[in-house]
Amino acid sequence: MNHSILALPFLLFTLTAQQIVAVSPADRANLEGSSFTHFPLGRASARMQTLHRDVPGGTLITGHAYRRDAIAVRGQVDGFASDLQVALSLSPALPTQASTTFANNVGQNPIVVLPRTVLGFPPTQRPGLDPAAAFELTIPYQLPFLLPSTGGTLCVDVTVFGNTSQAGTNTNLSVYLDAHENYTDGRAEQPGFRTFAGCPAPGSTTNSYATMTYWRLTGSGRLDVSIRNGVPDLGTGTALPFVMIGHGLDGTPWPLRADCPFWSSAEVWFALPGAMNSAGDYDGSLTALPLLPPGFRLWCQAGSVDLSTVGMAFSDAVTFVTPPTGPLPIATSRIINSTNNAATTGTVSYAVPVMGFF
């Protein structure tokens, strides 16, 4: 493929949630995925199948799309072009029975809904809130595919023959597509979306920040918290971490330091187990939390305080929506060979891109 990226027209439209007729995994329609992927878009040579048991029967599919990951990277992901082909069929296998052999996952009479062609994909920016409001990376089909009214396992078979980007021709790219990992025990992982800014610890000019992940477990919840650039503990064990959780976004300054806002409405405060380390970092978990109904957006903020000096630092704001239990049986899976589009086999995984069908 010798086209210049600058000569290829980008698709001039994105698909909002209202235009999407089905999302898979279905529980991610209004929730950020727990991970990200560079498959299949961004690869120079690849074949990837995704199996979907959660697309409603009777759905007329005229294309599919991916959305930008909101968590992993904050800057712009540049535009690129991909030389690809898409075929759809009804797989004889359930997603949990996916074969490492591609041919075993393809149903009878597969339809090449998009013959090999070069599609341009626009640059994407980090969304202002999770998840991305639009499926910006769209693949329209030349032929529609009607899923039977009785439903079934939809097999989406994408073959990537090459790409072009600012990095050159046929160079693997990091495109940061939203993705989600399913677990066989029904666990649900929900990463926090970082936004706004924290404040530095006394004596530092670097803002403190935190990453958080909420887990919906069997019978309880867990919040994993990592704090960086907080108040260091100098061996006394008096520099302690904490986390605030609230239902709303605030912006009230801490009375003792106007540069340290309370971003969370902070209805609940929790002391985190353990102490800060000498670098002002912390990694730990708040366990045995009561299960919250799915669909609540929570605003969280971590902090650290030295009880002997009263030095304090707040992190940036972190928000997430409480997830439902993961679907069982698992309704989606992927089979990928990320280096060879002519390969007959791939690796099976329950970590799948979040896909919108239109």
Is 38 found in the same domain as 162? Answer: yes
pLDDT tens per residue, range 188-246: 999 999 999 999 999 999 999 999 999 999 999 999 999 999 999 999 999 999 999 99
Domain containing residue 205: CATH number? 2.60.40
Query: What are the beta bridge partners of residue 227?
Result: 210, 282
Is 231 found in the same domain as 331? Answer: no
Predicted confidence (pLDDT) at residue 9 exceeds the cutoff of 80: no
Q: What is the pLDDT of residue 98?
A: 98
Structural domain harbouring 104:
5-186+326-357
pTM beyond 0.85, yes or no: yes
Q: Please state, in angstroms and rounded to a whole number, the distance separating the CA atoms of residues 295 and 293.
A: 7
Is 83 found in the same domain as 32? Answer: yes
Predicted confidence (pLDDT) at residue 176 exceeds the cutoff of 80: yes
Is 107 found in the same domain as 214? Answer: no
Q: What is the pLDDT of residue 1?
A: 37
Q: Please state, in angstroms and rounded to a whole number, the distance separating the CA atoms of residues 352 and 216.
A: 19
Is 159 found in the same domain as 75? Answer: yes
Helix or strand run (H / E) with residue 103: helix 102-105
Is 182 found in the same domain as 282? Answer: no
Is 92 found in the same domain as 13? Answer: yes
Is 251 found in the same domain as 104? Answer: no
DSSP states of 1-56 as a string? ----GGGSPPP---EETTT-SEEESGGGTTS--SEEE--STT-SSEEEEEEES-SP
Is 156 found in the same domain as 37? Answer: yes
The identity of residue 84, as a single letter, is L
Predicted confidence (pLDDT) at residue 16 exceeds the cutoff of 90: no
pLDDT tens per residue, range 301-318: 999 999 999 999 999 999
Is 301 found in the same domain as 202? Answer: yes
Q: How many domains does the chain have?
A: 2
Is 348 found in the same domain as 238? Answer: no
Is 238 found in the same domain as 174? Answer: no
Helix or strand run (H / E) with residue 214: strand 209-216
3-state secondary structure of 102: helix
